[in-house]
Each structure stands twice: as C-alpha cells, then as structure tokens.
C-alpha cells in the first residue's frame, strides 16, 4: 500500500510523538561512549524555491556494521512530520531542489557504483539515475530553468576509462576477463611531479584535475566547459542561465605555489572547453564561493586579503562587477571570518555566516556597503543555511545542550523556529552540563575566553580533576555547540576546559595572527591561564590535571608536556613537534614555506617552533594516537615522540588506527579512541585503580592468539 505525502507525514509525526513520550518517562542519565553512535547528524538544509519545504541529510553511525550511512529527508518549512526521501540502506547526499519546484536531485553511489545524480519527482515514484559518468560526480548545481545542471568532475583514471569501455561491450565476457587480469596484479608505480603532491583522504596527487561540465537533462548530453591543468570548483549559474562563475587557481607557471585563487566566468554553452574564461577578480589572495546578484550584474564571494598570513587572515565578503572591474570589500571593518555569502532575493543585502567570539551567526550587510547586522544571533553555532525566493531562511543550528537541527525563519524576520526533532528522543534521556563561556587573563595581560564544563554532579566547594582540551587548527575555535566528548568527560567527573587561545578565530585578525611562526608560545600561555583560572575558582584539584587534543590540539599537547610537568597524563592525537621531519611528508608544504620559510634556509625559525629539544624534560605519561594513512598530520609525528620517550624509559604508548585518515571514519575506531581516553585519564589523573588501557575485546584476544 502506498501512502500519500500527507498521510506519511501524519504517521511519522505520531510515531515520533509516541517514541518521545516513552523516552521521557524515565529519569535522565549520564551520557556514555555508545551515545555518540546514537546521535544522528543533521546537515545541509536546502529550502525549496517556494519556501514550502526543507530537504536535509541525516547521517547515522552503526557500530554493528562499523560504518555510517546518510539519508535524505524533507520537512515542511512551517514545521510538521519529516518524510524520508531516500532509502535507508543506500547513502545519499547533496539534496538540491529544482528551481521550478518539480524535482529533488541528489548524489548517491548505489549498488557499489560510481557516485551519480538521481532525480526524485515530487509527485511521487522512485528516484531515477540520470547521469552515467565514468568517474564520480563530486558536485552539481541546477540551471535557473531547471533543464540543465553543471557538474564538477575530476579527470578519470585510466582504469575508469577502460572499465567504461568494457561495460559498453560484452559485459559478461569482459567482466570475466577483467577479473582474471586484475587478480593479484601488482599496483602500478606512483609517479609524482607536482610541488603540492599529497592530500589527506586522497594520498599522492597526480595531474587529474576537476573541471565543469554542463549536463542537459532531456538529451543526456554532457559538455565540458572548463579545462587545463587547474582545479575548477564551486560553480554558480547566472540568473539568465548563460554564464557560470567558478573559483580556480590559474596562476602560471604553477598554481600549487601560491594562494592566488580567483573568480572566473565562462559561457555555459561554450564549445572550446572554456580554454579562456574571463577572470573577474585579481586579488592575490584566495577568492572563493561565488554567487550572482538577482539582476546578474554582480558577483559576491569570500576574499582573503593577506595571502602571506595564510589561514590567519580574516576572510571577508566582497562584490565585483560580473564583467570584471574594481572589487568592493564589504566587511573589512567588521573583522570577523566570513563564509557562504548569498544575495537576498531583492539584491539589497548579502547574507553570510560570521565567526564571532565562540559562536557563529547569520549576518547581513548592504550589497552596496554599510553596517553588518545579525539576522540569527545568540550563543549558538550556525553551520549552514539556504534562502528561498520569498526570502525565507532555513539554517542548521546547534546549541550546547542540543545537536544540530534545522531551523526556519520567515522573510520578515523574527525568532528562528526549530522544525526538525531528529535527536529529541535520545536527548530526553540524557542529563547534561551546560558550559560557561568564561574570560580570564593570560600571562601578558591579554584577555582570553573559553568554555568551561563543570562535572555533571558538581557540588559547590568540592575540587575535581580537570582535562584541558586544546583545539585544532590552530586557526579555529571552540563554539557554543553540543559536544559529546566534553559531556562525556563531565559525566565521568572532570572539569573540562575548552580554551580559545590566541590563534583562534572570532576575535579578529590580530588575535588570530598572534601566533604566526610562534607556535607553542602565546597559545601555551593562554591554555595554561585557563587552567590557573579554574584552579583559582576553587573548581580544580591542581594535583589532578590531564591534557589532550587532536590535530593542532595534539601539537599543543606536545608543546605543553615539553614545557611543564603540571599534568599527570596527556593524550596527543595526530600531533607533532619535530616539524622539519614533516616537511615533504604531509600536505602543508606551501603553508610551511610561507610561514616558516624553507627548513634549510631558515633553520632557526623551524627550531623555534619545535619543542623536540625539550623532550628530555617530559615526565607526563603520554598516549600517542593517529591514523596510519593520515596525510594531514601523519602519525610520524606521534611515532617520533613516542619513540623518544620510550627510549628514555618514560611512561608512554602508541596506538595506530589502520585505514584511518585525519578524521576517523570507522565507528569501532572512534569508540576505541574514547574508551582509551577515559581509561588513560582515570589511571593517571584520578589514580582510581582503573587500568591504563580499556579491557581487550574478544576479537582482540582472538587476533593475538592467532598471531
């Protein structure tokens, strides 16, 4: 039996209501490790052109299957029951409504095939695959008339081309032949000739580049409209459908060697593969995320004005004439990181996301210049948004007490309304602690801020063990968002410290660039100042301190244990301290040379940011972790410091996770990592008799026995 859209929504609403009521009847409990895999990640809100519906994705983790899958849902903008738009067993992403409102398109790699575009008719029926590209479709965008799409495709591998040829021939015999020839075949050697030759989750980089293709939906014709030894990204259609704006680094002779990304425009019907696109911007920094004004006369984008400052440079909202000419930077006086600019439907304003002091807001600025005003503010974290033709906004927002959900706001403004309730049933079971955004003075008098979580069962006057958690980046920040790990530590009796030291975003360019070529100095002082603040408040036992972080948080941990012995335990995830050994091994060659210079030319600068010479002073028992195919911060950094401490007879351990990049994918590895966090800190910080390692699982014992 088939349900109509409205009856399906009604049934879904009843089920959600019953489930939520059942969960609320039991008393709230402390959060656990396994709750991380019950929390569903809502993302990518896309409001339909008429403003009536919002499509979005929901990612679910499965410990049983040890993988994640993503499903597309839709919900009325006014609120109501959500409707599943795609099947649960096949991951689907990137939902996009057609401008005429008839279709919902999305990406999916069904049945183990290449990622392709599927089309779902809003009248009903099954989704239909409409593309058959040799390679994966990375991204797409609808044309204004809903008859075409622009696709982002990476040049195919030779084996993908061969596979496509065989597929067109005799599938049975060619498939059999391919299986015989490929079985046990030694992989081809990897030939490298690029300056930038590595990237995390990709590995070695070759000369295959991403380009734009226009796809005619009716005829299935695919036309390449950009080309060359450049990566073309972030396409946007002009309102009349004649032009495509995109972002690309096209400086010669080698775009890998600079940050000079610009906005270009190419005709959507060109036949020369866009060999000579029109360059719109000339700023030497990175210009990205182009979007057209409703009248087609202007293009807004995000611009980086100081390329020598790398990511420390504040990103601004700018506009340029669509035919090229003088650019106007609209948010320079605002001095906050800007992202995702979009014209309002009447063209009078440009919306954008602003990173502001531990929160992210939706703001707007007049398109001809003026003051910035907040559209959606407050102590919350707004990740993304979309705007309907009538001016209604759909946004993805999280707060410290709730994972991200979809909110809508009417065109005339007012308070945002939450319209999804994806995690309500789970959250009703949990007892949480609300963080405080506190201020304190660093060693040199600089005001620093950060989030402080009290233990879940905090009692006034009692002192608790504490965990300092430096953040990654370093150009990043802790925000007013739900954080499972912080809640987990608080549930286990710790004061949790999430500082935003110098180097963090949200406080202006000077605050961010304060650690330029000076890592582990001012940020170290600021991190320690938060520890001293918590102790001075009477919250923390100074004899029970732990520290740990991931990425630059792991690097900060390495800096900390080489400069102080105050901590009883440390966990360094994807960290490093001997940076000259990382040069040429990770993905940051351009950043290194821009900030520190070449290591053989500026050895003193490299030595200044390295704390490796101070490792003899380390007394903190330290656990090192990392993914074995991480090219962002390779596990080499942890291996070196582990080996050094081990050689000196210090308490240390190394855990390498097979097949993991910088951001872990396997739920079992993520769970193992959290369990090791809790065991290591309980053993060395609480000294409560807990073993330093979690109990071995049956599978682990079987593996050891087999070996």
- Return d(Cα 208, Cα 154) in angstroms, integer: 6
Tokens representing 153 are 């495709």
Q: Edge-to-edge, what's the strand order for the sheet holding 569-573? A: 436-441, 447-453, 495-500, 464-468, 540-550, 569-573, 622-627, 652-657
- Return d(Cα 281, Cα 319) in angstroms, integer: 9
- Return d(Cα 557, Cα 551) in angstroms, integer: 10
Residue with tokens 């959507």: 268
Residue with tokens 């000294």: 687
Helix (H) or strand (E) holding 158: helix 158-168
pLDDT tens for residues 613-642? 999 999 999 999 999 999 999 999 999 999
- Return d(Cα 328, Cα 470) in angstroms, integer: 37
> HSE (CB half, 13 Å, CA atoms) of 468?
36
> HSE (CB half, 13 Å, CA atoms) of 600?
1
Task: Look at residues 451, 446, 449, 448 and name the one whose alpha carbon lies nearest to residue 467.
Answer: 451
Q: Give pLDDT, residue 9.
A: 35
Helices and strands: H and E segment counts in the chain: 13, 40
Return the number of other C-beta atoms located less than 10 Å from residue 179's C-beta: 9
341, 350 Cβ separation under 8 angstroms: yes
Helix (H) or strand (E) holding 172: helix 171-182
DSSP state of 685: I
Cβ-proximal residues to 697 (8 Å cutoff; 6+ apart), any chain:
none
Q: Edge-to-edge, what's the strand order for the sheet holding 328-329? A: 287-292, 298-304, 315-321, 328-329
| Coil/strand/helix, residue 191 | coil
Q: Edge-to-edge, what's the strand order for the sheet holding 243-249? A: 232-237, 243-249, 261-267, 278-279
Q: Give pLDDT, residue 163.
A: 82
Ranges of each domain in the chain = 433-706
- Return d(Cα 523, Cα 529) in angstroms, integer: 10
Return the number of other C-beta atoms located less than 10 Å from residue 425's C-beta: 17
| Coil/strand/helix, residue 190 | coil
DSSP state of 323: T
- Return d(Cα 108, Cα 112) in angstroms, integer: 10
Chain center to CA of 656: 22
- Return d(Cα 583, Cα 580) in angstroms, integer: 5
| Coil/strand/helix, residue 229 | coil
Radius of gyration of the chain (CA): 26
Return the number of other C-beta atoms located less than 10 Å from residue 604's C-beta: 7
- Return d(Cα 594, Cα 527) in angstroms, integer: 26
Contacts of residues 265-272 at CB distance under 8 Å and 24 or more positions apart, as own/partner, are 265/238, 265/299, 265/322, 266/212, 266/225, 266/226, 267/225, 267/242, 267/243, 268/143, 268/148, 268/150, 268/214, 268/225, 268/237, 268/241, 268/242, 268/243, 268/244, 269/214, 269/223, 269/242, 270/225, 271/223
- Return d(Cα 157, Cα 580) in angstroms, integer: 33
Task: Look at residues 262, 314, 313, 268 and name the one whose alpha carbon lies nearest to residue 289.
Answer: 262
Instruction: Name the burial class of residue 706, with classes exposed (0-12), middle (13-18) and buried (19+) by CB atoms within 10 angstroms of its CB.
Output: exposed
Q: Give pLDDT, residue 124.
A: 80
Cβ-proximal residues to 693 (8 Å cutoff; 6+ apart), any chain:
653, 676, 679, 680
Phi and psi torsions of 267, nearest 5°: -65, 135
Rounded to 5 degrees, what angle do the CA atoms 343, 346, 352 make?
A: 25
Q: Look at domain 433-706 and name its CATH class.
A: alpha beta
Q: Give pLDDT, residue 706.
A: 43
Q: Give pLDDT, residue 13.
A: 40
Q: Give pLDDT, residue 45.
A: 98
- Return d(Cα 604, Cα 597) in angstroms, integer: 10
Tokens representing 25 are 């009847």
38, 444 Cβ separation under 8 angstroms: no
Task: Classify residue 294 as left (phi > 0), alpha (psi -120 to 50) or beta.
Answer: alpha
Rounded to 5 degrees, what angle do the CA atoms 473, 635, 700 make?
A: 120
Tokens representing 98 are 């057609």
Q: What share of the chain is helix, strand, coil (3-state, %, to 5)?
A: 25, 30, 45
Task: Look at residues 650, 655, 659 and name the one whose alpha carbon lies nearest to residue 684.
Answer: 650
Spans of the chain, pLDDT less than 50: 1-24, 172-181, 702-707
> HSE (CB half, 13 Å, CA atoms) of 396?
18
412, 375 Cβ separation under 8 angstroms: no
154, 167 Cβ separation under 8 angstroms: no
Report the DSSP pairing between strands 495-500 and 464-468. parallel
Sign of CA dihedral 616, 618, 624, 630: negative
Residue with tokens 């050094």: 644
């Amino acid at each position: 039996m088939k349900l109509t859209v409205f009856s399906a929504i009604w049934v879904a609403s009843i089920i959600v209501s019953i489930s939520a009521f059942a969960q609320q009847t039991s008393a709230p409990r402390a959060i656990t490790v396994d709750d991380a895999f019950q929390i569903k990640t809502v993302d990518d809100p896309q409001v339909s052109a008429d403003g009536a519906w919002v499509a979005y994705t929901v990612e679910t983790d499965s410990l049983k299957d040890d993988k994640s899958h993503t499903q597309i849902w839709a919900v009325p903008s006014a609120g109501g029951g959500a409707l599943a738009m795609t099947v649960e067993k096949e991951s689907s992403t990137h939902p996009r409504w057609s401008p005429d409102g008839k279709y919902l398109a999305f990406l999916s790699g069904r049945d183990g095939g290449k990622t392709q575009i599927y089309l779902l008719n809003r009248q009903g029926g099954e989704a239909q695959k409409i593309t058959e590209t040799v390679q994966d479709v990375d991204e797409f965008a609808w044309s204004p008339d809903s008859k075409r799409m622009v696709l982002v495709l990476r040049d195919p591998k030779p084996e993908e081309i061969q596979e496509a040829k065989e597929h067109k021939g005799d599938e049975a015999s060619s498939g059999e032949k391919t299986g015989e020839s490929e079985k046990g075949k030694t992989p081809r050697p990897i030939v490298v000739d690029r300056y930038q030759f590595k990237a995390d989750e990709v590995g070695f980089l070759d000369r295959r580049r991403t380009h734009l293709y226009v796809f005619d939906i009716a005829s299935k014709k695919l036309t390449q409209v950009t080309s060359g030894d450049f990566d073309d990204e972030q396409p946007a259609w002009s309102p009349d459908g004649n032009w495509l704006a995109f972002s690309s680094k096209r400086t010669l002779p080698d775009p890998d060697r600079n940050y000079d990304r610009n906005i270009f425009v190419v005709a959507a019907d060109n036949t020369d593969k866009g060999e000579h696109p029109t360059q719109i911007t000339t700023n030497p920094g990175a210009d990205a995320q182009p979007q057209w004004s409703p009248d087609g006369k202007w293009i807004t984008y995000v611009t980086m004005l100081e390329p020598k400052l790398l990511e420390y440079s504040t990103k601004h909202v700018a506009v340029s004439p669509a035919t090229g000419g003088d650019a106007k930077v609209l948010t320079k006086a605002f001095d906050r990181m800007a992202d995702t600019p979009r014209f309002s439907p009447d063209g009078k304003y440009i919306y954008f996301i602003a990173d502001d002091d531990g929160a992210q807001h939706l703001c707007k600025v007049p398109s001809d210049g003026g003051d910035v005003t907040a559209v959606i503010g407050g102590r919350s974290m707004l990740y993304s948004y979309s705007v309907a033709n009538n001016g209604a906004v759909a946004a993805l927002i999280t707060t410290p007490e709730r994972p991200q959900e979809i909110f809508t706001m009417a065109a005339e403004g007012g308070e945002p309304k939450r319209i999804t309730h994806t995690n309500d049933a789970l959250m009703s079971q949990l007892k949480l602690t609300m963080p405080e955004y506190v201020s304190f003075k660093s060693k040199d008098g600089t005001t620093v801020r950060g989030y402080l979580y009290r233990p879940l069962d905090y009692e006034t006057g009692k002192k608790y063990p504490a965990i300092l958690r430096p953040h990654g980046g370093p150009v990043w920040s802790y925000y007013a968002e739900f954080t499972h790990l912080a809640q987990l530590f608080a549930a286990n009796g710790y004061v949790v410290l999430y500082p935003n030291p110098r180097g963090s975003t949200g406080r202006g360019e000077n605050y961010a660039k304060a650690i330029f070529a000076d890592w582990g100095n001012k940020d170290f002082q600021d991190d320690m100042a938060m520890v001293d603040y918590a102790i001075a408040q009477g919250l923390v036992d100074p004899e029970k301190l732990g520290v740990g972080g991931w990425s630059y948080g792991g690097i900060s941990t390495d800096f900390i244990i080489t400069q102080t012995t105050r901590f009883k335990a440390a966990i360094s995830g994807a960290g490093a301290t001997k940076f000259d050994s990382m040069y040429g091994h990770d993905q940051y060659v351009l950043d290194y040379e821009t900030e520190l210079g070449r290591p053989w030319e500026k050895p003193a600068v490299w030595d200044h940011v390295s704390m490796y010479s101070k490792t003899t002073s380390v007394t903190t028992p330290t656990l090192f972790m990392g993914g074995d195919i991480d090219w962002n911060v390779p596990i080499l950094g942890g291996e070196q410091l582990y080996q050094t401490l081990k050689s000196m007879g210090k308490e240390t351990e190394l855990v390498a996770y097979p097949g993991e990049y910088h951001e872990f994918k396997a739920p079992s590895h993520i769970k193992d990592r959290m369990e090791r966090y809790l065991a290591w800190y309980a053993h060395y910080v609480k000294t409560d008799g807990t073993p330093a390692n979690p109990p071995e699982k049956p599978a682990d014992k079987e593996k050891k026995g087999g070996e």
